[in-house]
Structure 1
Amino acid sequence: MIPRKPDEDGEADIDSADEALLDMLGLSSLNVADDHDDDCHPDPQKLTSSEISILVESNQLSKDYVTNSVCIFPPELSMRSEHMRKITDELVWGGEKMQADRTYETIQVYNNGAIEQRRTLTRLENFVDSHKAWKQLCHGYLRDTVSTILGRRMVLYKEKLNLKPPGGSGFAPHLDSPSLKVALKEDGPQTFVTVMVAIDDMTEQNGCLRICKGTWNEDKHVELIEPEMDGNPDAGGRAGAIEDAIAENLSFDNIVCKGGSIVAFNGWAPHRSAPNMSPFSRRAVFLTYNPESEGEFRERYYAKMDGMRNAWRFGLANHQQQLEDEMIESNALATVPK
């Protein structure tokens, strides 16, 4: 067991696995302000609806959300970081019983002074209903709290757990709403709010979330890049991308926070992140909700996205095969005497 370093009052002051390991190794900490401690506030999931309402009102979360398109939950409403790390590890290492859509990427890592290419798990989706604690959290406490902030009942639309290992890339500046509408178009919901829960401490070094605050909505948003026709629905074919020249003129705030911290932002708020330049993973879960009045579409969304992704892969494979066939034919014709 990793020892916990006492602070001036004799209490443990390590709030993440990264901090504990750094302390054990005698290295400098990640220097994230300790705005909350797991031992100084109760489990937020045990708060009553009236207690949640009081905290939302006293911290002006609804006002912040309307004015800035983003609000940061106070410590009293934030998750216990130890709990978030535990249920994340159970999900990632739970094996086949933890049903989830898993994405692997090839990233560059340093090993004994050399750069290696390594295939690494970087994202999980469609996992909430396969894990009891995640199901209770996402369909329960987080949904209830964001519903209180927005003043209307919300339901879960999709979920994504970003693992962002050391060397993992950031994500380019974009808006969520345009990409979220691609799957179901006018037949699906039109209003979205994303709730991010930090699993580990978020710092500038490990590629924290960055958001451009403002009164953003469908009628007032930054200019977007037209997605590629028949492109990858998770990359070039994804709607919502912001051109670099436009993003450079936007003011992005770094969301530097402790593990367990919660941030909610609307689907039209520009956001981005940088690569993880630290030696540890920077994990965070992003949960998207829509008003219940617009309908429940989570299962339809994932079914549609699965079909779109498979269609794109099939088209890509056919295109590659066509190029190979053309090359074989060209090489064969080159051997014919003229």
Structure 2
Amino acid sequence: MIELVKKLTSLHGPSGYEQEVSYFLRDYLKDKVDEVVIDPIGNVIAKKKGTKPGPVILLTAHMDEVGFIVKKIEANGFLRFEKLGGNDDRNLIAQPVKVLGEEGHINGVIGTLSAHFAKFDDAQKVRKHSQLYIDVGASSYQEAVEMGIEVGTPVTWGSELQILGSSEKPKIRAKSLDDRAGCAVILQVLEEIEQDFAGELTCLFTVQEEVGLRGAKTASEHIDADVAIAIDTTAVSDTFEQTMDQTLSLGKGTGIKVMDASLIVPNTMKKLLVQLAKENHIPYQLEVFTGIGTDGGAVMYANKGIPTGVLSIPSRYTHSSIELVDVGDLIATKDLVKAFVKSVDEQSSFPF
């Protein structure tokens, strides 16, 4: 599963520019499902039928990542930029980036003051992203243009996946784990479950989640599902900053969502997921966190309403170049999704 996450996080797909990820998912899935399509805005929708009658289960995760977009090329070749998604200005300076130019990917860095100038500056100042710039090594406007950069060129983090921790309890550090980790969970479930389930699986990999759940809002209106599980990462609160309340931790299992800013999970869905976790000895945590929203919030409102649960992969340093997840939590999330799919049959219903 680590190799799958490595491949997915190596792709570059900021909100609105997810083509690399969409095409990869389509090609990866074409021999593993009965049908796979890319819709007009880039969502990937795959369907797979089980061997027995049963409900239609929607599994969804978003493929986009937070990033940036070039707003202006300065005369000296520096790039001014806007955010694509919820980046924190405090995480930006001195970070490597990839500029997705017309001629290929271009290495760059978000510039910052040299340490030698610190005594002449206000040490408490956090510069807004509008005051920052990306340095791609160009010496002029024309040189940047010749490198394939223009206004509107997308940008992602330039970091690569690393394995941290012990071999018994490894952790993955990478960009875009939010939510390529969720995409990996769905792909792994499809791999392991084969056709030994009831009903039909509809797997929805969405675009533009980071800028307002846009892909899920569009796609879910055209998907006829009986029940849904959204898989996403969520921010843990187990570090030492003053605002951390120690309610969700890395390495203690998948997060079964109770409530976030986008939805209140139906109590029957929450209880069912908890019951399955206990029966299958899958480690879990209950999550109440209003600082986040997921595609589950969009799916739940679709059509006449789809009963929706959400499983959260705990993550440190979310929306940064060094997001961190525990492999054990990743596997626990996969195992609970799989247990849910295997638990349904022709008589299954999901009442309020």
Smaller-chain TM-score bracket: under 0.3
Q: TM-score, normalised by structure 1?
A: 0.28
Q: TM-score, normalised by structure 2?
A: 0.27
Structure (1 or 2) with the greater helix fraction: 1
Structure (1 or 2) with the greater strand fraction: 2
Query: Which has the greater radius of gyration?
Result: 1
